[in-house]
A and B are shown apart, each in its own frame.
Chain A
């Protein structure tokens, strides 16, 4: 079926440390995997995405890795800052965009 699992549900890190969020998807997902960041009271905003023809993509302090064999992809945030505190959603494309349940990240100054 169409399903995206995401772990952990909550994550606290010290400022400057790294944060990793992992997602898995089912067999029939398409080849596009976006990550969204949602700040309190706002709508989700795309921060990075990856297509299946690459294994890793990096944009400054954030990176995403994709393992199609294992059907999982991960978000990596390095040198975390307080403004990184938010809820992060992974997603996969089936016949529609399916979002994971979200990870609430807290960066402690």
Chain B
């Protein structure tokens, strides 16, 4: 069974440029998460989807971040415009159950903003 797939693995952009990350969850997992992981810290939730509905986006900086999960399968996280402080790893995870249980993480997308 394929795991959570994320792309790109690495992205280097200049500040004020846009960037997008893509995630394909494990087949059959209705819940999808985007996490932000700064260096030396634990993952922090940005947004959680139940199917195509964003049920928790309270930590998503909506002035520059947006996300979508059309058709309730894969998802895209966008930043526009990127700032220096956005340099981090963006992790996608999925789970078969909402709110509890094991999260299955992708390998992450490392963003460097110059």
Show the binding face of A for B, using Cβ within 8 Å: 4, 6, 30, 32, 34, 36, 41-46, 49, 89, 91, 93, 95-97, 99-102
Given A43-B106, A43-B107, also A100-B42 (CB < 8 A): yes
Given A43-B4, A43-B105, A43-B106, also A96-B42 (CB < 8 A): no
How many residues of chain B get a CB closer than 8 Å to chain A's CBs? 20
B45 touches A97 (CB 8 A): yes
A95 touches B42 (CB 8 A): no
Show the binding face of B for A, using Cβ within 8 Å: 4, 40-45, 48, 56, 91, 93, 99-103, 105-108
Binding site of B, secondary structure by majority: helix, strand, loop or mixed?
loop
Alpha-carbon distance A97/B42, docked complex (angstroms): 11
CB distance from B53 to the nearest CB of A (A): 15
Alpha-carbon distance A42/B107, docked complex (angstroms): 5
In the complex, 25 of the A-B residue pairs with CB atoms within 8 angstroms, ordered by the A residue number, are A6-B42, A30-B100, A32-B101, A34-B102, A41-B107, A42-B107, A42-B108, A43-B4, A43-B91, A43-B105, A43-B106, A44-B91, A44-B105, A45-B105, A46-B102, A46-B103, A49-B102, A93-B99, A95-B99, A96-B45, A96-B48, A97-B45, A99-B42, A99-B44, A100-B42
